[in-house]
Amino acid sequence: MVELVLALRERGHEVDLALPTAPKEGLACVYDHATRAGAAPALVLERGKGASLWRDRLDARRLRNLVVERDIEIVHTWHTRDHVLALRASAGRRRAGATRVVRSYKIATPIPPLPWNRWLFGPGSDGLICVSPRSAQANERLRGGRPSLGAFGAIDTKRFRPAPPDEALRRSLGIEPEHRVVGIVARAQRHRRFDLLLEAAARLFAGDASARLLVIGRGTNIEETAQRPAERLGIADRVIFAGYRTDDYIDVLRCASVFTFLVPGSDGGCRALLEAAACGLPAVTSTRGALPEIVVDGETGLLVEEDPVALASAWEALLGDETRRAGMGAAARRRAETHFDRSHFAEQVEAFYASLA
């Protein structure tokens, strides 16, 4: 969302942002990220889960005033609550064709065809933006012929770019020069298949003394989901838990030789995979969600079944072939520049907006 705001402004559009602050002081949130990036919100909304007719009445009124005052043509929403707020704030203008409501849906799987969804994502959305072309096609029936766009996520490829790993950082993580590293960015949750990840890692380590697994991320269940299972498998000394990273995140990401991604989380666009591609890292992924569209099998990475033998074999194939690994990494970078850069995303969204306005 923030990358889109910045890129559309670079293209000459007037773009305002409305969102809430963090639920508690000191917690990382989109509000702070947007402010640091130079996209301070024009309207600060109250926090709240789900849509509430009574609770949200003041926010709906304030948003309506902003839409009228700024003569806003497109209100782009990202969650259910702001979607309903946008419909309440722009009802009259929407009937007159002066304002359109666009919704981004961040999950690659089809929208459940429940009655509420049929209305909200049907007549309640002038346009729908999905995380990939196939995910947009999967929702065509629910949309009933209304306009949709399938577009990959947006990252800043000037920030995320290939560069030699920071050797001091590698040493601080316990990574020696001879180590070849499989990296993953994932919140430690049961559904992210850490069982598969660690079992495959154990198979890889059995035949490759130089291999390491780098886990970037945190989670309230990380001990139960990842750390203790690694100990039970006898591989704890070769699995590096880097935790949640902020300022040095890109440098930690570049410590990997190969990137892997198994199960999309709350972001079906798989942003971490796009960032790794922009850094020139080849990927080994499953075939879930939008992954087969993001990774070009055999060109920018390898697609494998969710099987520890297949996963370990794919890692081994790339870690053991530096030439192939470098070629796939270069191809991943080229694909990131042409398909995942925020300027490309903004160009697609701009054309979509224009088709609706």
- Taken in order 110, 116, 118, 122, is the CA torsion positive or negative? negative
- Considering the entire predicted model, what is its pTM? 0.93
At 28, is the pLDDT very low, low, confident or very high (cuts 50, 70, 90)?
confident
pLDDT in the model for residue 14? 97
Residue 189 reports pLDDT greater than 90:
no
Tokens for 290, please give them.
Answer: 């939008």
| pLDDT greater at residue 327 or residue 265 | 327
- Taken in order 167, 171, 174, 177, is the CA torsion positive or negative? positive
The tally of CA atoms less than 13 A away on the side-chain side of residue 328 is 25
Of 136, 125, 108, 123, the closest CA to residue 292 belongs to 108
Structure confidence by residue, pLDDT tens digits, 73-103: 999 999 999 999 999 999 999 999 999 999 9
pLDDT in the model for residue 20? 92
**Angstrom distance (rounded) from CA 243 to CA 250:** 13
Residue 50 reports pLDDT greater than 90:
no
Average pLDDT over residues 240-268: 94
At 342, is the pLDDT very low, low, confident or very high (cuts 50, 70, 90)?
very high
- Amino acid found at 206: A
What domains does the chain contain, in order, with CATH numbers?
2-154+341-356 (3.40.50.2000), 167-340 (3.40.50.2000)
CA-based radius of gyration for the chain: 22
Instruction: Indicate the length of the chain as a whole number.
Output: 357
> In this structure, what are the phi and psi dihedrals at residue 246, rounded to the nearest 5 degrees?
-120, -85
Structure confidence by residue, pLDDT tens digits, 39-48: 999 999 998 8
**Angstrom distance (rounded) from CA 57 to CA 38:** 29
Structure confidence by residue, pLDDT tens digits, 122-154: 999 999 999 999 999 999 999 999 999 999 989
pLDDT in the model for residue 196? 96
Residue 25 reports pLDDT greater than 80:
no
Structure confidence by residue, pLDDT tens digits, 287-307: 999 999 999 999 999 999 999
Structure confidence by residue, pLDDT tens digits, 231-244: 999 999 999 999 99
At 188, is the pLDDT very low, low, confident or very high (cuts 50, 70, 90)?
confident
Residue 27 reports pLDDT greater than 80:
no
